[in-house]
Amino acid sequence: MPEAIHKPPSERAQRVFIYSVLLLFVVYFLAPFFVMFITSIKTMDEIRNGTLIALPRQPTLEPWLKAWGYATIGVTNEGIRGFFWNSIRMVIPAVLISTIIGAVNGYVLSKWRFRGSDTFFAMLLLGCFIPFQVILLPMARTLGLLGLSESVWGLVLVHVVYGLAFTTLFFRNYYVAVPSELVNAARIDGAGFFRIFWRIMLPISTPIFMVTIIWQTTQIWNDFLFGVCFSTGETQPITVALNNLVNTSSAVKEYNVDMAAAIIAALPTLFVYFVAGKYFVRGLTAGAVKG
């Protein structure tokens, strides 16, 4: 939309006010990250002698290298590198599996209803309200029986099961808004259950896929409780490793290494927001759903 050339002064003042407030919030939210970042590139000497917000005089990448490669975590000296990959290996299958099953669930619950499907959906929704802590013991037992305890695949299973309630909810609500006539037309055209899903529903699902992937990635990557309960030592995800790094007692508290590790731990979720968020908005504005 072209900018109006002559805006009344009152409207201008409003704009200035709105942007000032927004700017204030931006500063407020970015300040902690700023402190984390500059701390992570200072030497320990500088941290001890300077103030919190002072810029580094001699920036160094050493804390980052240490955090990544050779910081002491628990009893090992290999940094958070291995745990970072643990998390990646856990998040990718867990997000993909829970999203795909959620999409099929949503498709069935909105377009192929069966007797009791609404009840089924209501029960599934209860899953959104069950606190993590409640299922810890039964889940530990289940994982033990399945032979998956203390493995990355065990964590994947837990996150898939726990995420299904949310992913199903997202897709079901999205597909409910898609006209059923579309499915009927495809049925008359001779397409079956999966062909309709693949050729008609999936191509118009980009926005909801992005929402679900952002949601699931953030949830699973950031999870600490399941990670700390269902994994040990080498299979722990990065959130647990970060905790252990900070809590590993040594002579000096290395704030710069802690900060670098914390930022590394946060990078993938930031990445997903920046990349997928763009597609998300694009998908919404394309207006492709209207038949």
Partner 1 sequence: MASLKIQNVCKSFGAVDVLKGIDLEIESGEFLVLVGPSGCGKSTLLNLIAGLETVTSGDVLIGDRVVNAVSPKDRDIAMVFQSYALYPNMNVRKNLSFGLETRKVAKPEIDATIERVAQMLQITDLLDRKPAQLSGGQRQRVAMGRALARNPKIFLFDEPLSNLDAKLRVEMRTEIKRLHQRIHTTIVYVTHDQIEAMTLADRVVVMKQGIVQQVGTPTEIYDTPANTFVASFIGSPAMNLMQGEIEGGTFRGTNVEIAGLSAADGPVTLGFRAEDAAVADTSADIKAPIYTIELLGDATMLTVRAGGEMVSVKAAKDFRAEIGDAVSISVPVGVCHLFDHESGERLAS
- Site of interaction with partner 1 (CB under 8 A): 179, 181-182, 184-192, 195, 199-200, 203-204, 287-291
9 vs 190, beta carbon nearer partner 1: 190
Q: Whole-number minimum distance, CB 284 to partner 1, in Å?
A: 14
Q: Whole-number minimum distance, CB 205 to partner 1, in Å?
A: 10
Q: Whole-number minimum distance, CB 278 to partner 1, in Å?
A: 20
Q: Whole-number minimum distance, CB 281 to partner 1, in Å?
A: 18
- What does DSSP assign to residue 75? T
Rounded CA-CA distance 218/266 in Å is 10
CA distances from 237 to 84, 140, 166, 271, 275 (A): 7, 17, 22, 18, 23
57 vs 290, beta carbon nearer partner 1: 290
Which contacts qualify for 33-36: CB closer than 8 Å, 24 or more apart? 36/259, 36/262, 36/263
CA distances from 70 to 64, 75, 84, 256, 263 (A): 10, 12, 13, 14, 16
57 vs 115, beta carbon nearer partner 1: 115
Name the CA radius of gyration of the chain, rounded.
24
Residues in the chain, overall count: 291
6 vs 290, beta carbon nearer partner 1: 290
Q: Whole-number minimum distance, CB 174 to partner 1, in Å?
A: 14
Query: Of 122, 272, 96, 99, which is closest to residue 170 (Cα–Cα)?
Result: 99
User: Residue 273 is encoded by which pair of tokens?
Assistant: 């927001």
Query: Of 172, 164, 176, which is closest to residue 96 (Cα–Cα)?
Result: 164
Q: Whole-number minimum distance, CB 285 to partner 1, in Å?
A: 12
36 vs 289, beta carbon nearer partner 1: 289
7 vs 195, beta carbon nearer partner 1: 195
Assign 76 to helix, strand or coil.
Answer: strand
Query: Of 67, 61, 90, 64, which is closest to residue 80 (Cα–Cα)?
Result: 67
164 vs 204, beta carbon nearer partner 1: 204
Q: Whole-number minimum distance, CB 227 to partner 1, in Å?
A: 39
What is the full DSSP assignment across 108-123? HHHHS--TTHHHHHHH
